[in-house]
Structure 1
Amino acid sequence: MTFARPPFIEEIRAEVQATTHRQRMQNSMRTQLRRNPDNDLFKIKTADKWLADDYGKPIARKLMGSLWHEHELCILFADTNLGKSVLAVQIGCGLAKQSMMEPFGCQVDEPLKVLYIDFELTTAQFRARYTHREYGLHHFGEHFIRAEFNPAGSNPILYERYDDYVQDNIESAIKSTKAQVLIIDNITCIGSQTGNSTGALPLMNKLKALKSKYKLSVLVLAYTPKRNIYQPITVNDLQGSKMLINFADSAFALGQSCTQPGLRYLKQIKQRNTANDYGASNVCLFQIKQELSFLNLEFIGYDTEHNHLQRPGTALSEETKGRIAELSQQGLSNRQVADNLKISVATVKRYK
């Protein structure tokens, strides 16, 4: 007489067999990787050997003055609608045409192939920024390549995590374009958990691995939500975990000046290979400007950050007033608007 096993017993047996198979595959792959020392997690040499092997190699060239050097992983962060995408395109276009923006020096003596992965703008929105009714379309040249996110992309059935699927497609784009510079707009779109150290660590490790593997210079854009407009910009303003900054080679931020509409300032936040040339005492001032068919940030001088922060007791800037109206129209309460902009509820009511 035979007895059929209950369905849940069969499910447990199948799960155990599948797990065992996965473990065997993982162990087999680890064994194969160990055969090649180049795939080891750690490369071990004496300190003298490290120095001797690196001696005589060319020094990393400046891509954007002291803000960003060749083969660095750099982060550019700013609040929404301040022009960080405009700045990133301007930087990429400059490297692709071998003409860098003022006032930053560039030591590259040949055009670089730039891959700009755009998770933010549609084709129509991008065209609107770089088209003029009289002068037509802006010419970026063959070295500036833009990749636009396709929401209807193929279903990643071979991936357990969508983030892995996106990151693997980025690597494929790097290989197919032979890019030397990678710009990603923005980092939250390639890692769904960048707001905590658990999610930020593997993402930054992946970017650093791509940087080393393909000898890339990488610039990633990020947000500064709920920034206090009365305080200077710091690493604490970067959205999510400080792990992002900790693993970056360099970082700079774009801030809003409270002195006049459209005025921005750029501040150096982190650097490893150079001095801090553009800190709080010497920020760079820019005005967003449409030059023929090219939207860009025009350099107008230097100043201290303190002179461009909102001061208690003074009237809010026109842009901050606009942000109050914008957030209110989105349905946020007075308290939520105040918390978002780091101002009082009474101020929100006054300018709503």
Structure 2
Amino acid sequence: MRTKSRLHNDFIDDLKKNEASLNTNNQEVDCLIIKPVNRWIDEAKNRPIPNMLCSEFWYENELCILFADTNLGKSIFAVQIADSISKGEAIDRFKLESKPKKVLYLDFELSDKQFEKRYSNNYQEHYRFHPNFYRAELNTGAELPSNYKNLEEYVCHSITENILTNNIEVIIIDNLTFLNSDNEKAKDALVLMKFLIKIKKKYSVSILVLAHTPKRDESKPICKNDLSGSKMLMNFCDSAFAIGRSTVAHNFRYIKQIKQRNTEHVYHTENVIVCKIDQKHNFLGFEFLDYDSEYSHLKSYKTNDLEDRDTEMIGYIKDGKSNVEIGKLLGISEGAVRKRKKALNL
């Protein structure tokens, strides 16, 4: 039996051979498309302006990466985005400019029962998703067809088949690790990104890929280097954004732009979107709270232990100190003090 590493190498080799075969079979194909620059612009004018799919974080026909540490809610937010796009209804305080689209969510993380729990009221009164929303998970009982050397190659082929069969316009892959377990290796990351770019251009689909970060220092702002395999992945994606853990409360998260091509850098270190993860009746999702500085949510030498900071804060409140004074003493903003007091019902 071939090892997972060997299977992965076969997958990489096959993709490279397929690319070479395509170029060999069509002798007229050149590696460069050259036109007068005005012609490029004239042709571009005839194509629609990309619409926002999730505020300035992700636009139509982009290959976008959403990354975060484990258990910070990447899948929760991704399903919420998919639900929004499939219905053509924006998430509260986020922007959606497109009409309803057919979305394929490739879920390599949760079982159907785990998914059900998140979108029900204790397995009752289930949330009803729009018919435009398709979910796929791996069929572990399926035999690998003889014309595919490994599972990864078979999955990639199935993605393209489903785009055509179900008229899919948006693909969300949860997560990158399944399609390429060695994405930190530059050469492998390049092949994977080229495959996703190819189907994006060929079928005019919008792609969101979820990815993990290695263990990071949460006292520092999130940056592109926090993405596993960052250099190659970040070079080839159109946009990227990240979810960070907040020190204000255990269920608080912040969302930050990391890379953008279709828009200005709106949600940067001084202006992140702060949300809380909450299950309202039968839907687990992100609820908008505020815009804030990322520094208000980072760990510091005084905030490594949230319980210790809370105890210290309560002491300052009893001493009659103002929110501004408490913030200075704890090394956080006045707004962070307000939010934490509210979370603690103080």
**TM bracket, shorter-chain basis:** 0.7 to 0.9
1:204 and 2:193 equivalent? yes
> What is the CA–CA distance in structure 1 between the aligned matches of 2:252 and 2:285, rounded to whole Å?
12
Q: TM-score, with normalisation over the residues of structure 1?
A: 0.78
Q: Letter of the aligned partner of 2:70 in structure 1?
A: T
3-state SS of 1:125 partner: helix
**Using a 3 Å threshold, how does the CA distance of structure 1 residues 312 and 178 change in structure 2: closer, same or farther?**
same
Are the equivalent residues in 2 in contact too, given 1:135–1:292 (CA < 8 A)? no
Equivalent residue in structure 2 for 1:98, among 85, 88, 93 = 88
3-state SS of 2:200 partner: helix
Are the equivalent residues in 1 in contact too, given 2:243–2:255 (CA < 8 A)? yes
Q: Which residue does 1:232 correspond to in 2? A: 221
Are the equivalent residues in 2 in contact too, given 1:114–1:182 (CA < 8 A)? yes
Equivalent residue in structure 2 for 1:32, among 11, 25, 34 = 25
Equivalent residue in structure 1 for 2:116, among 109, 127, 140 = 127
Q: Letter of the aligned partner of 1:84 in structure 2?
A: K
Please report how far the alpha carbon of residue 153 of structure 1 lies from its aligned counterpart in structure 2 after TM superposition: 2.7
Q: In the comparison of the two structures, how many residue pairs are matched? A: 290
> What is the CA–CA distance in structure 1 between the aligned matches of 2:152 and 2:32, rounded to whole Å?
25
Q: Which residue does 2:146 correspond to in 1? A: 157
Q: TM-score, with normalisation over the residues of structure 2?
A: 0.79
**1:203-255 Cα distance to aligned partner (Å, 9 max, x none):** 00100111111110110100012111111100111112421111110110000
Q: Which residue does 1:15 correspond to in 2? A: none
Q: Which residue does 1:21 correspond to in 2? A: none
- Please list, as runs of the form range in 1=range in 2, the aligned pairs for 1:59-78 lying within 5 A after superposition: 59-78=49-68
- Point out the more displaced range, 309-318 or 91-100: 309-318
Q: Letter of the aligned partner of 1:63 in structure 2?
A: L
Q: Which residue does 1:55 correspond to in 2? A: 45
Are the equivalent residues in 1 in contact too, given 2:68–2:211 (CA < 8 A)? yes
**1:304-326 Cα distance to aligned partner (Å, 9 max, x none):** 000100001334236xxxxxxxx
3-state SS of 2:291 partner: strand
3-state SS of 1:136 partner: coil
Gaps of 5+ in 2: 1-17, 308-346
Q: Letter of the aligned partner of 1:42 in structure 2?
A: L
Q: Letter of the aligned partner of 1:258 in structure 2?
A: T
Equivalent residue in structure 2 for 1:111, among 93, 100, 119 = 100
**1:151-197 Cα distance to aligned partner (Å, 9 max, x none):** 33322432345432221121112222111110000011112321111
Are the equivalent residues in 1 in contact too, given 2:117–2:123 (CA < 8 A)? no
**Using a 3 Å threshold, how does the CA distance of structure 1 residues 226 and 292 change in structure 2: closer, same or farther?**
same
**Using a 3 Å threshold, how does the CA distance of structure 1 residues 187 and 26 change in structure 2: closer, same or farther?**
closer
Q: Which residue does 1:334 correspond to in 2? A: none
Please report how far the alpha carbon of residue 31 of structure 1 lies from its aligned counterpart in structure 2 after TM superposition: 4.5
Equivalent residue in structure 1 for 2:275, among 286, 310, 313 = 286
Question: Identity of paired residues, percent?
Answer: 43
**1:284-304 Cα distance to aligned partner (Å, 9 max, x none):** 011111122111100011110
Please report how far the alpha carbon of residue 26 of structure 1 lies from its aligned counterpart in structure 2 after TM superposition: 10
> What is the CA–CA distance in structure 2 between the aligned matches of 1:84 and 1:26, rounded to whole Å?
32
> What is the CA–CA distance in structure 1 between the aligned matches of 2:33 and 2:182, rounded to whole Å?
29
> What is the CA–CA distance in structure 1 between the aligned matches of 2:23 and 2:66, rounded to whole Å?
37
Equivalent residue in structure 1 for 2:210, among 208, 214, 221 = 221
**Using a 3 Å threshold, how does the CA distance of structure 1 residues 313 and 152 change in structure 2: closer, same or farther?**
same
Gaps of 5+ in 1: 1-24, 319-352
Are the equivalent residues in 1 in contact too, given 2:144–2:150 (CA < 8 A)? no
Instruction: Please report the RMSD computed on the Cα atoms of aligned residues, expressed in angstroms.
Output: 2.0
Q: Letter of the aligned partner of 2:274 in structure 1?
A: L
Q: Letter of the aligned partner of 2:26 in structure 1?
A: L
Are the equivalent residues in 2 in contact too, given 1:97–1:111 (CA < 8 A)? yes
**Using a 3 Å threshold, how does the CA distance of structure 1 residues 151 and 53 change in structure 2: closer, same or farther?**
same
> What is the CA–CA distance in structure 2 between the aligned matches of 1:255 and 1:240, rounded to whole Å?
18
